[in-house]
Amino acid sequence: MTLPEWVPDGVDITTPNAARVYDYTLGGFHNFQVDRQFAEDAQRAWPGIFQLAHANRAYLGRAVQWLVGHGVRQFLDIGSGIPTLGNVHEVAQATAPDARVVYVDIDPVAVAHSRHILAGHPNATAISGDLRRPDEILGHEEVLGLLDFSQPIALLLMAVLHFVPDADEPGQVIRRFDEATVSGSYVALSHGIPAKVPSDAQEEVRSLYRRTPTSVHLRSPDQVSAMLDGFTLVQPGLVPITDWHPDPEDDEAPQPTVLAAVARKGA
């Protein structure tokens, strides 16, 4: 089979993958039959999963706009995904053309496509990295080349921490970021939580994700909140993504199973 030219060498197209499944749910084209089938199976198990992806992406955009509005000009977006509508540099630079963005992802398709669309861009780049190894990310030459750690930086962890098991300490990336950055920096995240009523549908989706390289690890609101210890939650706190500074023009269905928070380092 001839693969499209955007497929980096060595990519396994026989196993579904979180980055490409998410790309498909958002209407992107960087996915394979196995990813599309996965997304359709998940949608059958839990109707609404496509809307959930769109709601997460919309929250990402609102969070970036809020951060730019509060003076942030630097973004480290880990688990950034395959570029699609509303990429962080586009949202940030629409208001602040000087905003700088480093995208980081573990997935080779996400990194290759990001680097492709950012080639020659002076204020945005993409690197391969694993949030379980934060020192490699924070010490990466392209991160140090683009981001100034003497100025506030926003760490974005959108819909990614729930792909990392407790044993791999997903919170350590936030602690290392805290140590490396100045007061006035921020962490913005979204994270899946278990449905209030035990849900076969949610369990079916989790079992589907066990077939991918990154299984899903839902956490309670208290566990998510604990990852932000030492930071100050900005209003409205840790809330469903659709309740975080909702766009009054948008009538999204509520999404109680993914929480959002933006938290500031220092007072």
For ligand SAM, the binding residues (CB under 6 A) are 18-19, 22, 56-57, 60, 78-81, 105-107, 110, 130-132, 158-160, 163-164, 214
Nearer to ligand SAM, 58 or 234 (CB): 58
Q: Cβ 95 to ligand SAM, closest distance in Å?
A: 19
CA gap 193, 121 in Å, rounded: 36
Q: Cβ 21 to ligand SAM, closest distance in Å?
A: 8
Nearer to ligand SAM, 57 or 100 (CB): 57
Strand 231-233 to strand 186-192: parallel, antiparallel, or no bridges (unpaired)?
unpaired
Which residue is at the shortest CB distance from ligand SAM? Answer: 81
Q: Cβ 30 to ligand SAM, closest distance in Å?
A: 11
CA gap 212, 227 in Å, rounded: 25
Backbone angles phi, psi at 223, to 5 degrees: -65, -40
Q: Cβ 183 to ligand SAM, closest distance in Å?
A: 25
Q: Is the Cβ–Cβ distance between 63 and 156 less than 8 Å?
A: yes
CA gap 191, 101 in Å, rounded: 21
Nearer to ligand SAM, 130 or 142 (CB): 130
Nearer to ligand SAM, 113 or 265 (CB): 113
Amino acid type, 247: D
Q: Cβ 198 to ligand SAM, closest distance in Å?
A: 23
Give the number of other Cβ atoms within 10 Å of residue 238's Cβ. 19
Nearer to ligand SAM, 106 or 153 (CB): 106
3-state secondary structure of 239: strand
Q: Cβ 190 to ligand SAM, closest distance in Å?
A: 7
Nearer to ligand SAM, 99 or 127 (CB): 127
